[in-house]
Amino acid sequence: MFSIKPEPRPLERVGADRILRMPSRIFLLLVVACVALAPLRRAGAQNPAQHKVNRIHVAAMGSGAESERFHGLLEDELQQVGFAVADAGGDADAVLSGEFSTEVHGDRSFARVTVLLKSPDGRRTLWSGDFISQHKGEGHEDVVKTLAQTCAERLRKEWQKG
């Protein structure tokens, strides 16, 4: 048997309205998909457990006078931004732990902390951060205090997003 193929239609016969409708349909489909999926993306970025944290126990973050001073300053700054500070991990909604270090080289001073906010059982990390404070030159800037402020403020901002 013979098969007769229809001749392809020339491009002139395709209506301009059909050509324009196709991209607009695709565009509309993409817009609808983005709008529909936006809440899922936001929900994935949120950490509802973090938002339930109100009482934080600050664990030791090193040894030495500067580490102890940072520990006390961080507790004060957490209270300044609205968190309650618990003396023991069992009394807290979460435990903030990490590593603190400070250095002075000539006219430069540095302080750094890497922190983890974990659930009281230590199984889930609710938030983490790595912060550096530095000062160069004449004058006096307390890099340890600045670091404690930055850490507490960032934690509060993330808490507000959750």
**Span 109-153, pLDDT tens digits:** 888 888 999 988 888 888 888 888 888 866 557 888 888 999 999
Claim to verify: residue 23 and residue 84 sit in the same structural domain: no
Claim to verify: residue 82 and residue 149 sit in the same structural domain: yes
Question: Taking a C-beta distance cutoff of 8 angstroms, is the pair 162, 51 a contact?
Answer: yes
Claim to verify: residue 23 and residue 58 sit in the same structural domain: no
Cα-trace Rg, the chain: 28
Claim to verify: residue 129 and residue 109 sit in the same structural domain: yes
Tell me the pLDDT tens digit for each residue of 28-81.
555 555 555 554 444 334 555 555 788 899 998 888 888 899 999 999 999 999
Q: What is the CATH number of the domain that holds 63?
A: 3.30.160.150
For residue 5, being part of any structural domain is answered with: no
Claim to verify: residue 34 and residue 75 sit in the same structural domain: no
Claim to verify: residue 36 and residue 92 sit in the same structural domain: no
The Cα–Cα gap between 121 and 94 comes to 8
Structure tokens at 156: 């509060």
Closest CA to 81 of 159, 156, 161: 156
For residue 110, being part of any structural domain is answered with: yes
Claim to verify: residue 77 and residue 16 sit in the same structural domain: no
Question: Taking a C-beta distance cutoff of 8 angstroms, is the pair 67, 58 a contact?
Answer: no
The Cα–Cα gap between 93 and 49 comes to 9
Claim to verify: residue 16 and residue 71 sit in the same structural domain: no
Does the predicted TM-score (pTM) go above 0.75? Answer: no
Which residue range is the domain that position 16 belongs to?
A: 12-45
In DSSP notation, 132-147 reads EEEEESSS---HHHHH
The Cα–Cα gap between 74 and 118 comes to 16
For residue 132, being part of any structural domain is answered with: yes
Structure tokens at 75: 């507790």
The Cα–Cα gap between 50 and 127 comes to 7
Q: Where are the alpha helices (DSSP H) in 46-138?
A: 48-51, 65-80
For residue 2, being part of any structural domain is answered with: no
For residue 6, being part of any structural domain is answered with: no
Claim to verify: residue 80 and residue 150 sit in the same structural domain: yes
* Number of independent structural domains in the chain: 2
Claim to verify: residue 112 and residue 141 sit in the same structural domain: yes
pLDDT of residue 40: 41
Claim to verify: residue 91 and residue 134 sit in the same structural domain: yes
Structure tokens at 78: 């957490």
